[in-house]
Amino acid sequence: MRLSRRLIQKSKFILAIALICLVVRLLPYFAPIHAADIAQNRLALEFSDRNGLPLGTILTRDQEHTAVVPLNQVSPQFINAILAAEDSSFYHHGALDMKAIIRAINQAIHTKRIVSGASTITMQLARMLEPSPRNLSGKLQEIWLSWRLAAGMNKDEILAAYINRLPMGGNIYGVEAASRTYFSIPASDLNLAQASLLAAIPNNPTYFDPLQHWNRLKQRQKYVLNRMLQDGYITQQIADKTQTEKVVFQSRQRGIIAAPHFLFWLASQIQIPPTSGDIPPFLSGVRGDHLIQTTIDRPLQQFVEAQAQQVISTLAANNVHDAAALIIDNHTGEVLAYVGSPDYFNEAKLGRNDGVQALRQPGSTLKPFVYELALEKKLIRPNTILADVPAHYAIPGAKLYSPTDYTQRFLGPVRVRIALANSLNVPAVRVLEKVTVPNFLARLRELGFTHLNQTPEYYGLGLTLGSGEVTLWELAQAYVTMARQGQTIPLISIISNSQLPTPNSPNQTTWQLITDILSDHHARATAFGVDSVLNLPFPAAVKTGTSSNFRDTWTVGFTTDYTVATWVGNFNGEPMRQVSGVMGAAPLWNRIMLHLHEHQEPADFTVLQGLIKLPICAISGLRPTPDCNSVVQEYFYPEDKIAYETQNNFNLPSEYDEWLAKQQSNFVSSNFRIISPHNGDLFLLYPGAEEQQKLEFKLAGNKSASVEWWINGEKIEAQSTNLFWHLRPGNWILEARSGETNDKVTFKVELAKIKPTRRGFSFVKSQR
């Protein structure tokens, strides 16, 4: 009876223990871990240029180089090697290998030391996911996590998660990242020798580091091959041959090779989807292994990076430290080069700041768009005369707004062409007044200036002079639209097979007219000299800009093939010392443009459609009369030809009174005067380019064919209303004489400290 009770109690105890074990073993199925739960979404992104040249790798946030591939994209040789080395019975046991555990315990008891481990691939994966201390509680935690993994994932899913997390030396994780780093091939192309070497690393990644401890790694490879032999994956002959096969670790240049700002910006735009999900349309250029082929041209990128550094070094004396540049293919919208600063890795100089995406005041670079809109709405005509005279605007709650140019000088009546080409401020404000700020702001937003998100009242009439803040990226995109004659196109950063959106159908005539003005180097000669750094030996439209207090300088321009946008300034906001757009950003723009068209010049811009060219008086914009002293050719709308034939009387209206009162003599067509150079002008002369730099002497109001030119009291042997004089350093007094009449101006020529990139240009120092 007593024995019977003991048996019953013992049976109950065993049953209770069995029940507890069963409950414990079933619990993981109530909290399973599925493949989606541990999907690796924050992966290293590997970038190449448009031709497959590597640009660099952006690591995950924890600075690990990780690339994920499906199991079927990994070489079977590596699968066999890692199974043989780490868990040969992986497909034949559960989360734990009880045979291996019993064997390890017996060996430890007999030898009184640990001879072999019993960790399965599932247990190793558990440690990778949640590292735990090497004690009893840590081991129990590891077992629990292993059971949960086995409850929610099949063997292939566990193995895939495992090989994509394997530590492969340094900050490299996963077989794909290791294969690309050490052999420059995908994991699917690994041969037996390469696979067995990589499978040898995870056992102790530091001890078997292939770049530091090659002999150790070869010994571990021998162990892996022996295990593969025992498991029947290979023969002895193959093992011996593989052991002696020479394997070269072609470690690629790690980190970033070129375009660091671009890579980090692009990485921030990309949200990598789970490996089992679909690739969104905007990632159509991203392959499953997360190797991204960008639109960047690496040789061009490296050229622009070098030029940015050189240009900044020449401007160091003017307190200039930073630059940025962007190059776009006008035909496709592809970004070919993207330079955010002269040196990304120079933290002391704020090199990580991205000048392409930074918000800065654009100066005068927005002016072409207000003129285009005014022409489109027929608020002005190509022959319209604008008043460059003192103007005052009452702004509620603010001081009287009186726009001026940097020179503090006004030119009086000027054509639209002259006003835009020379970046005159007062005419631009007058045009914006006609267009209205709300309409102009709406147009700018259509062009992609998304950061101009304040109200029209916030910007006011200063919007056309740069009162808002934009990015170099937005400016480039808008000028690409101009280059495409008003057809908008998104800027593209990733090579894709997707079709470009259907272009819109704008009024091409007005865009062509703006392009014609911005490419007219004769029209901009008043501000920038006869032959400036903006003038190229092929057709190119360009606009400069300088923000207030010389904090930012811009130059944006295009040919039929490329748009180039450059910025020069200081990230810390310090003003530069007397550096305008043509001195700061233009030399960099010039170098890039010449390089882009070094081997093939661009095509000419499209001939203006739907317009006719007629002679006009430069002062009145009307048909010339005998008293007109300056006749030029200008475009007309056909419907304006009748008015052109009938109107020729021009009198300066009252808005010119204040300006006229400040002139040295009455502003009439018969007034004998020197109109180029202006009194007080300052020109820069580049050493070595004296023979190419000329200044135009131009006279107006001369009724006689005979004219004498005198400079510093010496007569110039020329008798012409217009002539060209070689620049020479010094202070100069220029006098023109014709009979009893004469006029006199003074100007100055200084040696420039900046060496030009192309011989033969001069410019007025005081221009935007």
Question: Does residue 648 register a pLDDT over 90?
Answer: no
- Verify cis geometry, omega within 30 degrees of 0, for the bond prior to 677: yes
Residue of 157 and 676 predicted with greater confidence: 157
Instruction: Please state which of the ranges 110-114, 274-278, 663-667 shows the lowest mean pLDDT.
Output: 274-278
Distances (CA, A) of 267 to 22, 64, 271: 48, 15, 8
Residues 645 and 585 grouped into a single domain = no
CATH number for position 740: 2.60.40.10
In the DSSP assignment, the letter for residue 256 is B
Mean pLDDT of 516-544: 90
The number of distinct structural domains making up the chain is 4
pLDDT at 135: 77
Q: Give the 3-state secondary structure of 377-416.
A: CCCCCCCCEEEECCCCECCCCCCCECCCCCCCCCCEEEEH
Cβ-count burial of 423 within 10 angstroms (0-12 exposed, 13-18 middle, 19+ buried)? Answer: buried
pLDDT at 378: 94
Residue of 704 and 11 predicted with greater confidence: 11
Question: Does residue 760 register a pLDDT over 60?
Answer: no
pLDDT at 426: 93
Residue of 97 and 630 predicted with greater confidence: 630
Terminal-residue alpha carbon distance, the chain: 112
Instruction: Please state which of the ranges 55-59, 168-172, 478-482, 762-766 shows the lowest mean pLDDT.
Output: 762-766
Instruction: Please state which of the ranges 21-25, 337-341, 358-362, 412-416 shows the lowest mean pLDDT.
Output: 21-25
Q: What's the number of CA atoms in the CB half-sphere (13 Å) around residue 179?
A: 27
Distances (CA, A) of 43 to 72, 133, 163, 251: 19, 27, 14, 20
Instruction: Please state which of the ranges 44-53, 340-349, 398-407, 716-725 shows the lowest mean pLDDT.
Output: 398-407
Question: Does residue 278 register a pLDDT over 50?
Answer: no
Residue of 761 and 74 predicted with greater confidence: 74
Mean pLDDT of 394-402: 65
Q: Judge whether 405 lies within some domain.
A: no
* Residue-wise pLDDT tens digits, 436-483: 999 999 999 999 999 999 999 999 999 999 889 999 999 999 999 999
* Residue-wise pLDDT tens digits, 532-554: 899 999 999 999 998 877 788 99
* Residue-wise pLDDT tens digits, 336-383: 999 999 998 888 888 889 999 999 999 999 999 999 999 999 999 999
Residue 262 neighbours by CB distance under 10 Å: 27
Residue of 629 and 280 predicted with greater confidence: 629
Question: Does residue 399 register a pLDDT over 70?
Answer: no
Distances (CA, A) of 561 to 1, 557, 607: 105, 11, 16
Q: Judge whether 337 lies within some domain.
A: yes
Cα–Cα distance measured from residue 261 to residue 264, given in angstroms and rounded to the nearest whole number: 5
Distances (CA, A) of 506 to 372, 447, 481: 12, 12, 10
What confidence tier does 507 reach under pLDDT thresholds 50, 70, 90?
confident
Backbone φ and ψ of 728, nearest 5°: -140, 140
Residues 552 and 653 grouped into a single domain = no
- Among 605, 634, 652, the domain boundary falls at 605
Integer-rounded Cα radius of gyration of the chain? 37
* Residue-wise pLDDT tens digits, 73-95: 999 999 999 999 998 889 988 77
Residues 557 and 637 grouped into a single domain = no
Q: Judge whether 391 lies within some domain.
A: no
Q: What's the number of CA atoms in the CB half-sphere (13 Å) around residue 533?
A: 29
Tokens linked to 653: 């209206």
pLDDT at 626: 77
* Residue-wise pLDDT tens digits, 129-148: 888 777 777 778 888 888 88
Q: Judge whether 743 lies within some domain.
A: yes
CATH number for position 212: 1.10.3810.10
Distances (CA, A) of 192 to 198, 200, 216, 221: 10, 12, 18, 11
Four-residue CA torsion sign, 685, 691, 694, 697: positive
Residue 400 neighbours by CB distance under 10 Å: 8
Cα–Cα distance measured from residue 314 to residue 539, given in angstroms and rounded to the nearest whole number: 27
Q: Judge whether 34 lies within some domain.
A: yes
Q: Judge whether 477 lies within some domain.
A: yes
Q: Judge whether 441 lies within some domain.
A: no
pLDDT at 427: 95
Distances (CA, A) of 215 to 6, 183, 212, 246: 63, 18, 9, 13
Mean pLDDT of 223-230: 95
Q: Mean pLDDT, the chain, as a whole number?
A: 83
Question: Does residue 606 register a pLDDT over 60?
Answer: yes
Cα–Cα distance measured from residue 560 to residue 624, given in angstroms and rounded to the nearest whole number: 34
* Residue-wise pLDDT tens digits, 240-253: 999 999 998 866 45
Exposed e or buried b for every residue in 453-488, given b needs 16+ CB within 10 A? eeebeebbbbbbbbbbbbbbbbbbbbbbbbbbbbbb
pLDDT at 346: 85
Four-residue CA torsion sign, 405, 409, 410, 416: negative
Residues 538 and 569 grouped into a single domain = yes
pLDDT at 757: 41
pLDDT at 283: 43
Residues 334 and 474 grouped into a single domain = yes
Residues 549 and 626 grouped into a single domain = no
Distances (CA, A) of 244 to 363, 459, 555: 68, 74, 61
In the DSSP assignment, the letter for residue 573 is -
Instruction: Please state which of the ranges 135-149, 154-168, 279-293 shows the lowest mean pLDDT.
Output: 279-293
Residues 91 and 219 grouped into a single domain = yes
Residues 227 and 357 grouped into a single domain = no
Stated pTM of the model:
0.71
Residues 571 and 696 grouped into a single domain = no
Residues 601 and 618 grouped into a single domain = no
Distances (CA, A) of 222 to 174, 236, 238, 625: 21, 12, 12, 99
Are 437 and 459 in contact by the 8 Å Cβ rule? The answer is yes
What confidence tier does 763 reach under pLDDT thresholds 50, 70, 90?
very low
Residues 694 and 559 grouped into a single domain = no
Question: Does residue 274 register a pLDDT over 80?
Answer: no
Cα–Cα distance measured from residue 423 to residue 626, given in angstroms and rounded to the nearest whole number: 30
pLDDT at 704: 60
Backbone φ and ψ of 152, nearest 5°: -110, -10
Are 360 and 553 in contact by the 8 Å Cβ rule? The answer is no
pLDDT at 194: 95
Mean pLDDT of 749-767: 48
Give percent of the chain with pLDDT exceeding 90: 44
Residues 537 and 624 grouped into a single domain = no
Nearest one of 406, 728, 329 to 583, comparing CA atoms: 406
DSSP 138-193: HHHHHHHHHHHHHHH--HHHHHHHHHTT-B-STTEESHHHHHHHHHSS-GGG--HH
Q: Judge whether 105 lies within some domain.
A: yes
Domain holding 512, by residue range, is 296-362+469-605
3-state secondary structure of 578: coil
CATH number for position 323: 3.40.710.10
DSSP 465-496: GT-S-B-HHHHHHHHHHHHTTT-----B-B--
DSSP 308-362: HHHHHHHTGGGT--EEEEEEEETTT-BEEEEE-SS-TT-GGGTTTS-TTTS-B--
Instruction: Please state which of the ranges 44-48, 398-402, 506-510, 650-654 shows the lowest mean pLDDT.
Output: 398-402
Question: Does residue 281 register a pLDDT over 60?
Answer: no
Cα–Cα distance measured from residue 356 to residue 472, given in angstroms and rounded to the nearest whole number: 5
